[in-house]
Amino acid sequence: MAEALDVDAMLQRFRDRSVAVKKRNLPPVAGPERTRLIQQAQLDFQDFAIVGDAEATLEDGILTLRVDLRPPDARGD
């Protein structure tokens, strides 16, 4: 299975999902339910964006995602 995995395509799907979450419309709800939906959308965006920004390696059947969470000015690029 690992040989069939297109890691670049997988990461692109996560980037696409993060954009989709940002554009997602909220259903017509109010109060605590609306707050919960907004919080979930923020977490979904964060999770998809983090994985989408990862550097991936696939070696010996092991997929490793490396994510630099430091601020851009602290990365030393």
Which amino acid, residue 11? L
21 CB-near residues (< 8 Å, 6+ apart): 41, 44, 45, 48
Domain range list for the chain: 2-74
Q: What is the pLDDT of residues 5-47, one digit of tens each?
A: 899 999 999 999 999 999 988 888 899 999 999 999 999 999 9
What residues does 58 pair with on adjacent strands? Answer: 63
Asked if residues 75 and 68 have their Cβ atoms less than 8 Å apart, the reply is yes
Q: What is the DSSP letter of 54?
A: -
Asked if residues 21 and 42 have their Cβ atoms less than 8 Å apart, the reply is no
pLDDT of amino acid 75: 81
Global pTM?
A: 0.76
